[in-house]
Amino acid sequence: MNLQRLLWTFACAGLVAATPLAATAQARAHVHGQLRLDIAIEGPTVVIEMESPLENFVGYEHAPKTEAEKKMADDVVSQLRAADQLFKIDPAANCKLGPVTLRSAALGLGKSETGAEGHADLDGTFAFNCTKATETKFIELALFNAFKNVRQIEVQIVAPEGQFKRTLKRPAARLTWGGGK
């Protein structure tokens, strides 16, 4: 599922306002300690879109300058590419990690929206291919353990059971919706 289709899914589900996309993006605040996840469960896929200030992952918001900063950034990128360790989807769905796309202008990763002056983001798309995606009822998130600067996760979910909005605060790790436990 590509980004346009994911956005269309959220638009159809009523999770994206009827305003232009640029206005919607401006309404999303750049808040340190907070990241945002949009999760779509459709057909054989679970797609997770993540938006976050770069500071949540590396503790700064600029291109890495020192060897220590470069190593830290490389480590974060490696952790995010191993998304199946950060997003543990309900085993009933039988999911395997598919394509991972990371975007951060400061880290030289893909095309990324530029934030306000002095702000940098690290965004990602994590796709999982599943044999029973619609049976997903929960996702265990290891983001709080992996990234100490993350304090809150705002989540919107579009699943066969409906639309859900959740907020997880440290140390909560299980994201549930519908009939999840």
Domain ranges of the chain: 3-176
pTM of the model: 0.81
CA 67 remoteness from chain centre: 27
Please, what is the average pLDDT of the chain? 83
Mean pLDDT calculated for residue range 138-143? 96
Looking at residue 119, its pLDDT comes to 75
Lowest mean pLDDT among 17-21, 49-53, 56-60, 173-177: 17-21
Looking at residue 117, its pLDDT comes to 54
How far apart (Å, rounded) are the C-alpha atoms in residues 181 and 116? 39
Give the chain's end-to-end CA distance (angstroms, integer).
Answer: 27
Mean pLDDT calculated for residue range 132-140? 94
User: Which residues touch 68 (CB under 8 Å, ≥6 apart)?
Assistant: none
* Collapsed DSSP state (helix, strand, coil) of residue 49: strand
How far apart (Å, rounded) are the C-alpha atoms in residues 10 and 21? 12
Residue 56's alpha-carbon distances to 20, 67, 117, 141, 148, in angstroms, are 28, 19, 17, 15, 8
Looking at residue 32, its pLDDT comes to 83
* Collapsed DSSP state (helix, strand, coil) of residue 161: coil
Among candidate residues 98, 97, 99, 95, the one with its CA nearest the CA of residue 131: 95
Cβ atoms of residues 60 and 69 within 8 Å: yes
Q: Which amino acid is at 118?
A: G
How far apart (Å, rounded) are the C-alpha atoms in residues 88 and 160? 19
Q: Which amino acid is at 179?
A: G
* Collapsed DSSP state (helix, strand, coil) of residue 18: coil
Mean pLDDT calculated for residue range 54-82? 95
For residue 108, with 0-12 CB atoms within 10 Å meaning exposed, 13-18 middle and 19 or more buried, which class applies? exposed
Among candidate residues 158, 175, 85, 165, the one with its CA nearest the CA of residue 126: 85
- pLDDT bin (cut points 50, 70, 90) of residue 3 is very low
